[in-house]
Structure 1
Amino acid sequence: MAYAALNSTISGLGTTATYASVFEEVSKLNVDMHFVERAWASWYLWMQNDTIATGILSFVMHEIVYFGRSLPWIIIDAIPFFNKWKIQNTKVPTWREQWECAALVLISHCTVELPQIWLFHPIATYFGMDYGVPFPHWWEMAYQIIIFFIIEDAWHYWFHRALHYGPLYKAIHKLHHTYSAPFGLAAEYASPIEVMLLGFGIVGTPIIWVLSTGQLHLATMYLWIILRLFQAIDAHSGYDFPWSLRRILPFWAGADHHDLHHERFIGNYASSFRWWDYCLDTEAGEAAAKKRREKKLAQIKAKKAQ
């Protein structure tokens, strides 16, 4: 991180300098940077240990986003007015189910995910990830995140589909299907092996990208994870509103797509998009089943006609 000039100034504040005093000094020297960039630079300068700084920032960000995004769905589940948009409206989660789910997810975050979060910084920086300021242009972040969504969706489809193979399902994936009608908090309710296996698609994709291109900023990584968490939690919400994203983007796999997967326990394996399930004929639901039956009957009739 190229903070040599800043470091010499900050060191003059002494070892007892507060984050606020570091931020004030950084702001004086970098009026051209926006607020977030100044706050970001101040954090790393104040911590004086980049691995620890990224580790703390990553873990706190993950917890705030995960439970913060889940909170609106907890509130919505408690308000009967929204029940008309609940896909499986006879299976609203109880407070006990919400609490038990949240407790297991939090334990998983602190035991399974925390070591991975801590190791990310040294591994990613070894392969060339940048975490300095200024941040990359918005368009650079946007196209990289789109690519991450596409690659991770493919990873998720194939490994998720593999986890529905008998022995793997019983040993690994069955825990995630505890709830046949999912809710927001259940997005990461899974066994440690599944968390690591499917989580690699989220964390590993940017690492492979920076290894291949040499272009990745930690801020892009954070924005990608935030958007992916939103996608996962919303897909498990159990609600399909008239304004849901899948009604704007027909290829987006919203809550209706993943809710069917939990209800039927098979099909709809992709995470963010519908094209893998469509192209490989693994869509779930009555409409897809009817389409397969009609296709099979057409094939039988064609064979008889020969």
Structure 2
Amino acid sequence: MLPYRNLAEAEVVLGRNLTAAETFWFHYSASMPDYLLFYHNIAFLFVIFTLVPLPMAVAELIRPSTIAPFKLQPKVALPPSSFLKCYKVVLRVFFFVVGPLQLISYPSVKLVGIRTGLPLPSAWEMAAQLVVYFLVEDYGNYWIHRAMHSKWGYEKIHHVHHEFTAPMGFAAPYAHWAEVLVLGIPSFIGPALVPGHMVTFWLWIALRQIEAIETHCGYDFPFNPTKFIPFYGGAEYHDYHHYVGGQSQSNFASVFTYCDYIYGTDKGYRFQKAHLAKLREQWTAEEHNGIDISNHIGKIE
């Protein structure tokens, strides 16, 4: 709730005219309690979990040929029942875990100093804070994810997420309720260390979930703009982790790849990539020389 009676008072306090975005924020939030603004996250997450994976799911179920060249595990074709089952589990976790967690976490948000007032943060401020949030969350998530692949962690908790060895977008939040709770901790550490505006916090939560859906989509599109982000893992990187399955000790990163590189947990992935690159080079040379390569088909899938 903003401590101003009207726009004129807000402009006097700030010593300048409000921007268009600040004017909109004033009209939207002036009389709204802060806790209601924070609870917008519940609606945002529901919309993201439901709508962001939907286009890829529809394409895969109705017109798979249009995206088939980009599928990372082309031999796996999930039936509609798998998509429905996945979404139902995600909704159950959302309503019984994610939603209640959001409801009780508001005092923590106020404690760390996430603000809702004016002025709104600049684009540079938001970008800098988001970089910190991603890096901090990525580091914490790496170690939690790695611990989940211990014998106890995998058998008791993490095996649920690995039910889909060929993941899809809906499977990003498909996990045991305990895993959802534990992995929520690194997501909050960044905003706690570098608190910003509620708008930045909203954007952080939205971008992190969209990123998780993208890395679980099961497709590697060459025109994806995330390929230009340094050290970004992406769908191909995380798909290998699911493909290897429960025995995987590789590619634990949630967003970036630096932890896997530093701690040596990307060796299996890098070995496979190098091996497949050599095979493709060999087969290209054989095809160029008129040698039948039909016996090789399928070995790189």
TM-score normalised by L of structure 2? 0.80
* Pick aligned residue for 1:160 from 145, 155, 173: 145
Q: Does 1:200 align with 2:180?
A: no
Aligned amino acid, residue 266 of structure 2 = E
Compute the displacement of 1:69 (Å): 1.1
* Pick aligned residue for 1:50 from 31, 34, 37: 34
Give the equivalent residue in structure 1 for 2:215: 235
Question: Matches of 2:231 and 2:162 in 1, distance apart?
Answer: 24
CA-to-aligned-CA distance 1:183-231 (integer Å, 9 cap, x gap): 0000000011100111111123212333xxxxx1111111111111111
CA-to-aligned-CA distance 1:146-198 (integer Å, 9 cap, x gap): 11111111111111000000011110100000100000000000011100111
Question: Matches of 2:269 and 2:211 in 1, distance apart?
Answer: 24
Answer whether contact 2:2 2:29 (CA < 8 A) is retained. Answer: no
Q: Does 1:223 align with 2:223?
A: no
Compute the displacement of 1:74 (Å): 1.0
Compute the displacement of 1:246 (Å): 5.2
For structure 2, the 5+ residue unaligned runs are 10-15, 275-301
Q: Does 1:279 align with 2:259?
A: no
Give the equivalent residue in structure 1 for 2:232: 252
Answer whether contact 1:33 1:134 (CA < 8 A) is retained. Answer: no
Give the equivalent residue in structure 2 for 1:5: 5
Answer whether contact 1:159 1:198 (CA < 8 A) is retained. Answer: yes
Answer whether contact 2:218 2:236 (CA < 8 A) is retained. Answer: yes
Give the equivalent residue in structure 2 for 1:137: 122
Aligned amino acid, residue 202 of structure 2 = Y
Question: Matches of 2:251 and 2:102 in 1, distance apart?
Answer: 29
Compute the displacement of 1:58 (Å): 1.4
CA separation of 1:278/1:53 partners in 2, compared to 1, >3 Å: closer, same or farther?
A: closer
Answer whether contact 1:246 1:254 (CA < 8 A) is retained. Answer: yes
CA-to-aligned-CA distance 1:4-31 (integer Å, 9 cap, x gap): 3139x9xxxxxxxxxxxxxxxxxxxx98
Answer whether contact 1:245 1:252 (CA < 8 A) is retained. Answer: no
| Further displaced range: 275-284 or 107-116 | 275-284
Answer whether contact 1:235 1:258 (CA < 8 A) is retained. Answer: yes
CA separation of 1:117/1:232 partners in 2, compared to 1, >3 Å: closer, same or farther?
A: same
* Pick aligned residue for 1:184 from 169, 173, 181: 169
Give the equivalent residue in structure 2 for 1:263: 243
For structure 1, the 5+ residue unaligned runs are 10-29, 211-215, 292-306
CA-to-aligned-CA distance 1:14-56 (integer Å, 9 cap, x gap): xxxxxxxxxxxxxxxx98342x544443343454x3313421x
Question: Matches of 1:128 and 1:72 in 2, distance apart?
Answer: 37
* Pick aligned residue for 1:104 from 67, 78, 89: 89
* Pick aligned residue for 2:58 from 33, 52, 75: 75
CA separation of 1:38/1:161 partners in 2, compared to 1, >3 Å: closer, same or farther?
A: same
TM-score normalised by L of structure 1? 0.79
The alignment partner of 1:5 has SS state of coil
Answer whether contact 2:4 2:30 (CA < 8 A) is retained. Answer: no
Question: Matches of 2:219 and 2:267 in 1, distance apart?
Answer: 17
Instruction: State percent identity of aligned pairs.
Output: 31
Question: Matches of 2:153 and 2:273 in 1, distance apart?
Answer: 28
Aligned amino acid, residue 241 of structure 1 = F
Backbone CA RMSD of aligned residues: 2.4
| Further displaced range: 251-260 or 120-129 | 120-129
Give the equivalent residue in structure 2 for 1:17: none
Compute the displacement of 1:290 (Å): 8.8
Question: Matches of 1:115 and 1:228 in 2, distance apart?
Answer: 19
Answer whether contact 1:260 1:285 (CA < 8 A) is retained. Answer: no
CA separation of 1:39/1:122 partners in 2, compared to 1, >3 Å: closer, same or farther?
A: farther
| Further displaced range: 68-77 or 256-265 | 68-77
